[in-house]
Amino acid sequence: MEIEWLTPREVAALLRVHMGTLANWRYQGTGPKFTKLSDAPNSRVRYKKAHVDEYMQGMRRGAAA
C-alpha cells in the first residue's frame, strides 16, 4: 500500500481552512499530524492522507460520531 502525501495547500482545501490556520495548528501542536521533510527551520511540510482522514473523523459531531 502506497502512502499518499498531501501538501499544506491540499489539506487546507480539504479542511476548508486557510493555509495560515494550518501553520498556526502546527505551531500550537493541534490539527492533523504532519511531517517535516528535513530538520531545516524552513523545511517543507507534508501530511499523510490517512492522518488527515483520522483528524476529520475525530472532528465529527453529533449522534453518528
pLDDT in tens, 14-63: 999 999 999 999 999 999 999 998 999 889 999 999 999 999 998 876 55
Confidence of residue 11 (pLDDT cuts 50, 70, 90): very high
- pLDDT of 6 reads 97
SS (H, E, C) the chain: CCCCEECHHHHHHHHCCCHHHHHHHHHHCCCCCCEECCCCCCCCEEEEHHHHHHHHHHCCCCCCC
- pLDDT of 41 reads 84
Is it the case that residue 64 has pLDDT exceeding 70? Answer: no
Amino acid at 36: K
